[in-house]
Amino acid sequence: MLGPVVNDNESKGEVMAPTVAESLSMTADDTQHDHRHRHGHGHGHSHGHGHGHSHGDDVDWSAMAEHLEIDGELALPLVAAIVSELGGAIAGAHHIVDVGAGPGVITCALAAHAPDATVTAVDTAEPLLHRGAVRATTEGVGHRVGPLGGGPGARPPP
């Protein structure tokens, strides 16, 4: 079973959330059918997102944002189950980094599950990070969620 990637300095309580594709592979046997159905959506977002920017393809992320939000919202019950399985690892975290955050659906869910954590949303698509910031403010976690563009040398806050 995959779990969160804990930073080298575990005493700081920094946790990186698994990707949606990794999360889907962590489900119980009774959700395997659902995993196969959703895998295409999670993989498509992750694969297309990374390749779209690394090879210079023109992708209109603003136009894709609504579809990516729907995909994220469909994954929320699974995220809640994973957070429950992880117990205190998420709830007690001080800093969570959501890599490939997209429009911030799961970023905001992680912030809600970890009330003392600062959550950094990492993505190379600025329109998606902006959409995530708006979502975080709307959901009342904007004061703890911050975007980080994926340009060269980008680093999360200390």
Are 95 and 74 in contact by the 8 Å Cβ rule? The answer is no
User: Quick one: DSSP state of residue 101?
Assistant: -
pLDDT means per 10 residues, the chain with 158 residues, are 43 50 44 38 41 58 92 94 88 91 95 93 92 95 85 58
The pLDDT tens digits of the residues spanning 52-68 come to: 444 446 889 989 999 99
The pLDDT tens digits of the residues spanning 126-145 come to: 999 999 999 999 999 999 99
103 φ/ψ sector (left φ>0, alpha ψ -120 to 50, else beta): alpha
Write the DSSP assignment of 13-71 as a string of letters.
TEEEPPPHHHHHTTS-GGGHHHHHHHHHHHHHHHHHHHHHHHTT----HHHHHHHHHHH
Are 106 and 72 in contact by the 8 Å Cβ rule? The answer is yes
Q: How many residues does the chain have?
A: 158
**pTM of the predicted model, to two decimals?**
0.61
Q: Please report, for residues 8, 31, 37, 92, 153, the alpha-carbon distance to residue 111 in angstroms, rounded to integers and kept in the order given.
A: 21, 25, 27, 11, 25
**Residue showing tokens 């992880």:** 86
Domain 12-149 has CATH 3.30.450: no
